[in-house]
Amino acid sequence: MKPETDPNDRFGGEVPFALHELFYSRTDPRGVIRAGNEIFRRVSGYDWSELIGAPHKLVRHPDTPKGVFRLLWDAIQKGHPMGAYVKNRAKNGGWYWVFAVMLPFDGGYLSVRLKPSSALSGRMLKLYSEIAARERAEGLDPEQSVAILRNRAEADGYGSYTAFMAHALSLELAERDRQLRRPDDARTRMLGEMNEAMAELTKEQMGLLRSFEALQSVPNNMRIVASRLEPSGGPVSAISENYKASSVVISERLRQFVVGRDNLCAQMAWQVARALFLLGCSRILPEMNRGFRAEEANAQIDLEGERRFLAQLEAKGIADARAAMQSATDFAAQMTQQSRDIRRQMLGLDTIRVLGRVECGRMRDASEGLSATIDQLDTFHDDIKSRLESIMRLSEGVEHSLMRYVRLEQAAA
């Protein structure tokens, strides 16, 4: 049998570990390793004397883009949980692929890693290799690397990388349960579905904003047509000015609703993602804790102390997850109300559009250009109404799901 760490193994092959195994490490605020579990020690290939007191970057693999660590550190240094796929390097030069869930706590950071098994993990491994190759060949800095990762999240419909990684965690937990033949976890599934609904909601909102931005050019076209059909200050010119003024007000409201760091959609998505991370931790930490029971005592790790620490973090994580769900519920209610308000404002635009259509009919043959412009308005209005209805349906659905989840959690407590 091949030894678990062969010093002659320099081909960079994958270091095996089982799907049911979990890695654990705890660091101080600077990222210096203070504790870990036997699986981490075994797969990394280092002795405890080499791990304890060493920076966690000891196991960093150059194929993990620098942007990944920038995203992780930005989140946990602000006190937020975060997750990421990470390719690590063992002492013998081999590598191992994990999904890391990182939790900040008073005095440092904790990381629990599981073996990725979803279809997404394979795509991310390929993406990492491509980004890392560009970092070496083109000299990409961490921020440029972060931009590529965020673009990938946006391409999949997620408003933030946090939401994308929350989606990844839900996929990994579900696939791990399936392969280990464990019962499906209803709460994880529910939050995963809500996260996907948030991604769809973000897509609809961005599409709505694009439609409104495109709409801004139509009143200008109408005014140009009016200048050829009537004297200055005529009814078509007045209609175009009224339409433009009203649409600008709605467009500005939409911008506050959809874009910017503090928009409602992003805040609600972030709270759902935070709750999903914390829920995932509430499932993983007890399993990690049970794993410590099977470990043999050693002078470097206070196993009982680590178990008590994990139990405390688990309890805090559950409380924080409930708070995040309640906050997300409040944001969802605000989003639903905002959607209704914007729909009411659209009725005013519809009235102006109808007046334009009436004026077009009055001009008859001379109004061909005006008719084409009004047709554009009809198309945009139909698209906007459809998106608003979809947004209201999705936001109300998310709100109801959140309220149901909070009730289930309260009943369980």
Domain ranges of the chain: 1-155, 186-412
Statement: 186-412 belongs to CATH 1.10.10: no
pLDDT for 275: 83
Query: In angstroms, what is the C-alpha Rg of the chain?
Result: 27
CA distances from 332 to 106, 157, 276, 342 (A): 31, 18, 16, 15
Residues of the chain whose pLDDT is less than 70? 1-12, 232-233, 257-262, 364-368, 409, 412-413
pLDDT for 73: 94
pLDDT for 4: 42
Residue 89 pairs in a beta bridge with 95
User: What is the C-alpha separation between 183 and 191, in angstroms, rounded?
Assistant: 16
pLDDT for 7: 37
Beta-strand pair 23-27/108-114: antiparallel
Helices (H), 216-302: 217-229, 235-258, 264-293
pLDDT for 9: 41
pLDDT for 205: 80
pLDDT for 116: 97
pLDDT for 237: 79
pLDDT for 396: 84
pLDDT for 155: 85
pLDDT for 6: 43
| CB-based contact 95:87 (threshold 8 Å) | yes
Which residues touch 206 (CB under 8 Å, ≥6 apart)? 258
pLDDT digits (tens, 9 = 90+) for 194-223: 878 888 888 888 888 788 777 777 777 777
Task: Give the residue from 281, 252, 394, 406 showing the smallest Cα distance to 332.
Answer: 394
User: What is the C-alpha separation between 324 and 272, in angstroms, rounded?
Assistant: 7
User: What is the C-alpha separation between 146 and 67, in angstroms, rounded?
Assistant: 4
Q: How long a stretch of residues is the chain?
A: 413
pLDDT for 110: 94
pLDDT for 412: 64
User: What is the C-alpha separation between 34 and 122, in angstroms, rounded?
Assistant: 31
Q: What is the DSSP letter of 299?
A: S
Which residues touch 167 (CB under 8 Å, ≥6 apart)? 156, 158, 192, 195, 196, 199
Residue 32 pairs in a beta bridge with 55
What is the CATH code of the structural domain delimited by 1-155? Answer: 3.30.450.20
